[in-house]
Structure 1
Amino acid sequence: MASNSSKWLLGCGIGCAALIVIVIALGGVGYLLVRDTVQNFRNTIDSFERLEKEYGRVQDYIPSSTGIVDERRLETFTIVREELATARKEMETAVQALTDRVDEIEDGSAGFWRILGVVGKGMGALPQMAEYFKTRNEILIDRGMGLGEYFYLYTVVYYSWLQKSPGDGPPFRLMSGDDGGYYRFDREDEEESDSRYGDDYIDQRRKEVSRLVNRMATVMIQKQADYLSDSARPVWQPRLERELEKLKNDPERIPWQDGLPTLTRRSLEPYRERLEAVYSFLLNPLELRPLDGR
């Protein structure tokens, strides 16, 4: 296995841009790369702020009081995913290029410069990451969907219904401090693992994303229960309260982990094929973590 320092350097990947800045800032090309990367992220931050201004904060979203996902909203979500195809493919290519290098250096045979080259590829992917987020946000604005609704539907569709793992993604950390990014929910003294790649990190990612989804869903489902219509309350409120109790008792529980309510599942079923086609295993770690440190 590689030395601890080599592992850290590899795991640093896209998140630890400062190291790369130190190395490449001596050259004019490096300066231009850093300058362009910073500008790309400024533009991306602007797109997040536009979304929040127009549709509110993520935690403000309230799911349907009936449990049925409105067909028009599900169609919009699906179209957003479909229109992201080009940006998603470009980002997947960049992440796959990093993934392909991991096996080459895990056995410790690679030297410092080889490892640094992998980290450099991570730095090179930063502008693509910024572009991916910006493109996604602009599509959401054009299609009339906020991040709260997008994140909720991503969770229900892919984790709760299609049973994709929250740990899906490459065997290394894509963003330093993956803990929820642009929006944050109250946390209970969670400590970030030292694992940054390999099987241990994949399991750690699963736990981190599961906890994030749990906190997000608890806030949203509580509001859903609070704003039920009189006609829906007798049947739907007990079901929501049972799910809320399970979410609060198990911080790594995915919402509706035991199975979606029948009405919710039936409303999703006609879109199964299209939604399966636009899921990205490699980019799953980015979907609910828009911008770290915001």
Structure 2
Amino acid sequence: MNPVDYRKQLTDRIIEQLESGVAPRIKPWDENVQILGRVHNAITGRPYTGGNSLWLQCHGYADPRWCTYKQAQAAGWQVKKGQKAAVVEYWKWEETAKEEAGQVIRDRLTIPKVFYVHIFNAQQIEGMPEVVPIQPNWVPEDQAERILIGSGASIYHDQEARAFYSPTSDDIHLPPRSIFSDATKYYATALHELGHWTGHESRLGREISNRFGTEDYAREELRAELASFFVASRLGIPNDPINHAAYIGSWIKVLQQDHNEIFRAAGDAEKITEFVLQFQHEKSNQIQSESEATFEPEAAL
């Protein structure tokens, strides 16, 4: 498989699901997937990230564990007859040059070497032990609140029916917590806007001053929504994706024009995720808010 085929397959799958109303995180929320952890290699424990993570979730398996045929054999497991492998893409930036004075000297490649690995999901393999559900020792929504506070972002609950990040004033504006039907929807919205907040030049430095309806605006929205999903997945809380036709239509247009865009978006979303998750451990002043930190939806909602 070459890069064009692999990236076209992933892009086509995402466009297909966007058109069916699942946006943009590949599949509807499945609590079992999150309880069982991120998609990862069953032998090394290393998580798959970016476009590879999205691609593997496209396959719809509840078990997050994957491995190569050789890894399965070495562990005493057997891939079931007739099973089809998924393909993931890797980039190699360093190449061993030679050994000098007992040290291996590695040259940094200007253009990475790209190679592909065929892997199978645990549900395609016989002999693997049952996956052990993760029992988090935290309340997911509390962790999301901790991130919002730890970020130090200026967050105002002063809107009636919209949420946005203002690049000009560098602050986030949300509706009052009380009008959200549950905490999941509130934190999905807040994390989405926090994703935009990371694009400020003093943080990750993306181009975020884009006019609504433009392709650049759609690209930034895709990054923020993927990041919101990634962060929610890591915390173990459901993600409530945006399904507005205006967003879906613009995402489809951007992805159709460039099959590499979903990989760039997923890569940026991973950077946003790592940047945001560090705030779980930060101490800062209380969020600027007109509401209490405790989530208390109105009884009528």
Into which bin does the TM-score normalised by the smaller protein fall? under 0.3
| TM-score, length-scaled by structure 2 | 0.24
| TM-score, length-scaled by structure 1 | 0.25
More helix by share: 1
More strand by share: 2
Looking at CA atoms only, which structure, 1 or 2, has the larger radius of gyration? 2
Larger RCO: 1 or 2 (CA < 8 Å, sep 6+): 1
